């Protein structure tokens, strides 16, 4: 069974860094602000079907 | 927030239990829905349930007045959120209490796209059917999504902070039943996507697609079941729904594989699970015993002796106290029932006292009986 989550509608951390053209040196600073909201949106989605 | 000594002591009670050690007494894990708390505080669901401030005020009152070991109240169904979204899946009844009607938001011919990308299909097909504002598309849907997203996290943030503060104020544990929550894949598919009747037909007509859909949902369940503060004490709540309504061979094929994989994945990540075993799972006890050590099972129905014998050595047992008698029986009879359960379930630990069902409404119980039982268990449950 596949345990890894993937979706056209979800950006992983590295996908987000690429999508928003974040320079690699800025990853540690941009990650929380960008990926954190992506993860919150995922959590919100799952609540909506719960 | 600096935790007071009594709260630290209560935390230790639960930490010992979750660590497989003997606590100094049986922890008392009884709490109420916010509707119960509002009604107990004298508020009207039709009005005050929309106020976060009033919900917090009500939960403060119940936590002060009921001798449980945790904050006595939680807000799970957020009324204003469902209004913003135009929810069809959670609607208030005439007295304001939010009900969940049977609903089917994924069509049978949409299984393939769901299996390919469930998250995408939720947003493209399912959510617009569950929530009328999202179904309008365009700006109306975008606005509703934005407002709902904000309302959800703002409310959860306020309630989470308030819950911890109230717990600390009254010397209760800050641990809760649900640090986060997620259903097992089959239940997620059944509950609001295919419905009880829909999935019951699907497992006969298109069984391979049901299996594939559960497997497609598994990564979402795992991801939802682990949040940044998840650990052995901040546990993930898993309500079980459909198992008892299935034949065992169907349970084994459709329900069990992804249920087991889900719990094993959380365990591997160091996350504890609080599983609400709804209905009667006596015929599935051996399966539950296969799950990783230290699961917390809150049973609704079943034989306490057999449950203790089969599951209680490896896992933590709870529930089984019949909420209904708190309304219909005498105080002494209610206390006797608590004693009877503790005598069977508490020896050697791995037991936490709780009711068999969620305490939803004030009319569900005689509150004096409930208070008497809670006070009794606090004393009688000492090891």
pLDDT band at B145 (very low <50, low <70, confident <90, very high): very high
CA A34 to chain B, closest CA, distance in angstroms equals 16
Q: What pLDDT is attached to residue A32?
A: 84
Question: Chain B 204-233, CB below 8 Å of chain A: which residues?
Answer: 215, 218-220, 222-224, 227
Residue A31 reports pLDDT greater than 90: no
Model confidence pLDDT, tens digit, residues B289-303: 999 999 999 999 999
3-state helix, strand, coil in chain B (%, to 5): 55, 10, 30
Model confidence pLDDT, tens digit, residues B8-67: 999 999 999 999 999 999 999 999 999 999 999 999 999 999 999 999 999 999 999 999
Model confidence pLDDT, tens digit, residues B155-189: 999 999 999 999 999 999 999 999 999 999 999 99
Note the pTM of the prediction, 2 decimals: 0.96
Nearest to B373 by CA among B81, B146, B51, B68: B68
Query: Per the CB < 8 Å rule, is B118 touching A7?
Result: yes
Check if B201 contacts A (Cβ < 8 Å). Answer: no
Residue A3 reports pLDDT greater than 90: no
Check if B152 contacts A (Cβ < 8 Å). Answer: yes
Evaluate whether B316 touches B272 at the Cβ level (below 8 Å).
Answer: no
Chain A partners within 8 Å of B85 (Cβ): 48
Residue B143 reports pLDDT greater than 90: yes
Residue B261 reports pLDDT greater than 90: yes
Nearest residue in A to B87, CA atom: A48
| Disruptive mutation site among B84, B130, B215, B224 for chain A (greatest number of A CBs within 10 Å) | B224
Instruction: Report d(CA B27, CA B351) in Å as an integer.
Output: 8
Query: Per the CB < 8 Å rule, is B261 touching A1?
Result: yes
What is the 8-class DSSP label of residue B369?
A: H
pLDDT band at A2 (very low <50, low <70, confident <90, very high): confident
E strands along chain B, which residues? Answer: 91-92, 98-99, 180-181, 236-240, 273-280, 296-301, 316-319
Evaluate whether B127 touches B106 at the Cβ level (below 8 Å).
Answer: no
Percent of chain B surpassing pLDDT 70: 100
Check if B146 contacts A (Cβ < 8 Å). Answer: no
- Roughly how many angstroms between the first and final C-alpha of chain B, as a whole number? 31
Model confidence pLDDT, tens digit, residues B86-121: 999 999 999 999 999 989 999 999 999 999 999 999
Q: What pLDDT is attached to residue B226?
A: 97
Nearest to B29 by CA among B44, B43, B10: B10
3-state helix, strand, coil in chain A (%, to 5): 65, 0, 35
E strands along B65-133, which residues? Answer: 91-92, 98-99
The overall average pLDDT reported for chain B is: 97
Check if B103 contacts A (Cβ < 8 Å). Answer: no
Query: Per the CB < 8 Å rule, is B122 touching A45?
Result: yes
ipTM: 0.96
């Amino acid at each position: 069974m596949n345990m890894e989550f993937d979706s056209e509608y979800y950006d992983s951390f590295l996908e987000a860094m690429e999508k928003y053209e974040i320079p690699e040196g800025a990853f540690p600073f941009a990650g929380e602000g960008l990926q954190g909201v992506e993860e919150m949106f995922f959590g919100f989605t799952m609540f909506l079907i719960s | 927030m600096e935790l007071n000594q009594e709260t630290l002591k209560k935390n230790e009670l639960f930490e010992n239990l979750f660590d497989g050690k003997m606590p100094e007494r049986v922890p008392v894990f009884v709490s109420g829905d916010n509707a119960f708390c509002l009604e107990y505080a004298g508020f009207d669901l039709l009005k005050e349930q929309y106020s976060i401030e009033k919900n917090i005020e009500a939960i403060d009152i119940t936590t002060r007045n009921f001798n449980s070991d945790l904050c006595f109240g939680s807000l799970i169904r957020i009324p204003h959120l469902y209004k913003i979204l135009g929810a069809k899946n959670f609607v208030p009844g005439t007295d304001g209490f939010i009900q969940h009607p049977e609903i089917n938001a994924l069509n049978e011919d949409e299984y393939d796209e769901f299996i390919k990308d469930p998250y995408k299909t939720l947003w493209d097909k399912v959510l617009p059917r569950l929530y009328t504002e999202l179904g309008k598309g365009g700006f109306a849907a975008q606005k509703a999504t934005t407002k709902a997203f904000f309302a959800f996290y703002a409310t959860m943030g306020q309630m989470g902070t308030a819950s911890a503060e109230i717990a600390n104020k009254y010397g209760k544990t800050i641990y809760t039943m649900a640090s986060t929550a997620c259903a097992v894949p089959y239940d997620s598919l059944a509950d609001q996507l295919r419905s009880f009747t829909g999935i019951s037909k699907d497992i006969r007509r298109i069984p391979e697609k049901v299996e594939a859909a559960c497997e497609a949902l598994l990564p979402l369940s795992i991801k939802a079941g682990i949040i940044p503060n998840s650990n052995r004490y901040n546990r993930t709540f898993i309500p079980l729904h459909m198992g008892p309504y299935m034949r065992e061979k169907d349970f084994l094929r459709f329900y069990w594989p992804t249920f087991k994989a889900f719990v094993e994945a959380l365990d591997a990540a160091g996350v504890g699970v609080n599983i609400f075993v709804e209905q009667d799972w006596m015929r599935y006890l051996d399966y539950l015993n296969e799950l990783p050590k230290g699961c917390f099972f809150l049973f609704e129905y079943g034989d306490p002796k057999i449950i203790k014998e089969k599951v209680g050595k490896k896992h933590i047992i709870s529930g089984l106290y019949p909420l209904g008698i708190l309304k219909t029986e005498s105080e002494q009879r209610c206390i006797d029932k608590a004693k009877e359960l503790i005598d069977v379930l508490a020896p050697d630990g791995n037991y936490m006292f709780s009711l068999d069902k969620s305490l939803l409404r004030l009319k569900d119980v005689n509150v004096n009986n409930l208070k008497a039982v809670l006070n009794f268990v606090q004393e009688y449950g000492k090891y």
